[in-house]
Chain A
Amino acid sequence: MSELSVNHLLGIKYLTSADIDLIFETADQFKEVINRPIKKVPSLRDITIANLFFENSTRTKLSFELAEKRLSADVINFSASQSSVKKGETLIDTVNNILSMKVDMVVMRHPNPGAGVFLSKHINASIINAGDGAHEHPTQALLDTYSIREALGSVKGKNVVIVGDILHSRVALSNIYALQLQGANVMVCGPKTLLPKYIKDLGVKVETNLRKALNWCDVANMLRVQNERMDISYFPSTREYAQQFGVTKDLLDDLDKEITIMHPGPINRGVEITSDVADSKQSIILNQVENGVAVRMAVIYLLASKIKH
């Protein structure tokens, strides 16, 4: 197979493991491209992509924009804070107006779960979900698992723990799907208040003791506490959270093996991980960022190839 089974990337749950293999093989080639003296290929020169960000983002937006430009696509950017959404326009109207300008592909981040799925039923363009509420963030999960594959050789059979605010995290859900699809064993770890009630139904292990979780795993993906999504207090204080669920150098050195540390960013240094852990050689945080561009180029390229001329 050399074509994706889907026309949109709305979530990992719609992908097959063959899709992920194809994305990774294509990303390998793009990783080589972005390390050339001239980092650009002309494939998408007749494709226009709209980046619609209804929620704040730095890294994801930059990464998508860079990926699109390295593929020579025309790019238009939109952020909700400076738009007519504030004047009461609906999502479909906003997007249809943008599509009237002959846009072929939409990259969208939206605070509401399912926004991408909803849009895909109403408009005629390829959609990439760049995060929808606490639901999915598929490209992040792809780049995370791609980075694990790169660091450890494969994802299959590896023990991966996702630590932190699982309740509000789209990264956690997409990662769980992506890791399981590729044959990894997944554990979530965090304060009970930040673990969703039915998380076990996804077939993951649940642990509330960080030391036990780290001793079990090969890779720890540390998530940020999403204060902006919390309307009530889920733990007594940031200091207490850091003591219970923050990874420190001492804790890592105390384990009987060397584990790989990941973080989707932005990092709250001193909360979920300390600075010396983030900057240690066990951390592949910056590799994740580099791989993000290559993986997004692969996703955009593969979806664009399904838009017929």
Chain B
Amino acid sequence: MSQKVLLNSKEVNIILHRLACQLIENHNDFTDTVLIGLQPRGKFLAERLAKMLTDDYKIKNVKLGQLDITFFRDDFRRSNKPLEANTTDIEFIVEDKNVVFIDDVLYTGRSIRAALTAIQSFGRPKHIELLTLIDRRFSRHLPIQPNYRGRQVDAINEERVKVNWKENEGEDSVYLINN
């Protein structure tokens, strides 16, 4: 197994600030905007961005939720790995809101497809956008593209992109892993 550093902690930090600024550009004071982290890995990015918006950019009332898409996936009974459910925590109605889905890596687009269905259980959003830290180009199975992307990566199918977070793995970094 070989691995290559795609982004180090400094680069991750710069990208996060840029993404936060791009969000502010489009959503002003976030009155009608809600951030939804996609479980399991999008949660960390969403929490980090929400904290950054609140602490560094003084945005008040950033609404943050976590959405688990396990029960909405299209590979139930098809993958060898059992699907494990995570917590969904959305304490507001998304009816008529601008929803921003936040995930760490965009690969086939199937998780986002599932998230688009899952979010309907919480109302009819006015508008849904997608923010990802890593966009794996040329690997989409569905016509889904991010509105905000941290870094585009060309990786072949056998390769894996792993995003690490300080709160979880002890460092902010992105690796390209070749099995």
Contacts and interface: CB of A to CB of B under 8 A. Distances in A.
A262 B95 CA distance: 38
Interface string B59-74: 0000000001011110
Interface string B21-35: 000000000000000
B122 interface: yes
A32 B82 contact: no
Given A29-B86, A32-B87, A37-B123, A305 B71 contact: no
Given A36-B122, A305-B77, A41 B85 contact: no
Nearest to A297: B71
Interface residues of B, number: 22
B152 interface: no
A43 B71 contact: yes
A41 B73 CA distance: 10
Contact of B88 (A32, A42, A43): A32
Nearest to B120: A38
Given A33-B71, A42-B71, A2 B123 contact: no
A160 B78 CA distance: 41
A150 interface: no
B76 interface: yes
B77 A307 contact: yes
Nearest to B81: A2
B83 A305 contact: yes
Contact of A37 (B77, B118, B121): B121
The interface residues of chain A, by DSSP majority, are classed as loop
A42 B72 contact: yes
Given A36-B122, A43-B71, A43-B72, A309 B78 contact: yes
Contacts of B70: 29
A25 interface: yes
Given A38-B121, A309-B78, A2 B71 contact: no
Which 5 residue pairs are nearest across A and B when measured between Cβ atoms?
A41-B71, A38-B121, A29-B85, A3-B82, A43-B71
21 contacts: A2-B82, A2-B84, A25-B85, A28-B87, A29-B71, A33-B88, A36-B121, A36-B122, A37-B122, A38-B122, A39-B121, A40-B121, A41-B118, A41-B121, A43-B71, A43-B72, A46-B77, A304-B76, A305-B77, A305-B82, A305-B83
Given A37-B123, A42-B117, A43-B76, 18 more contacts: A28-B87, A29-B70, A29-B86, A29-B87, A33-B71, A33-B121, A37-B121, A37-B122, A39-B121, A40-B121, A43-B71, A43-B72, A43-B73, A44-B76, A71-B71, A305-B77, A305-B83, A307-B77
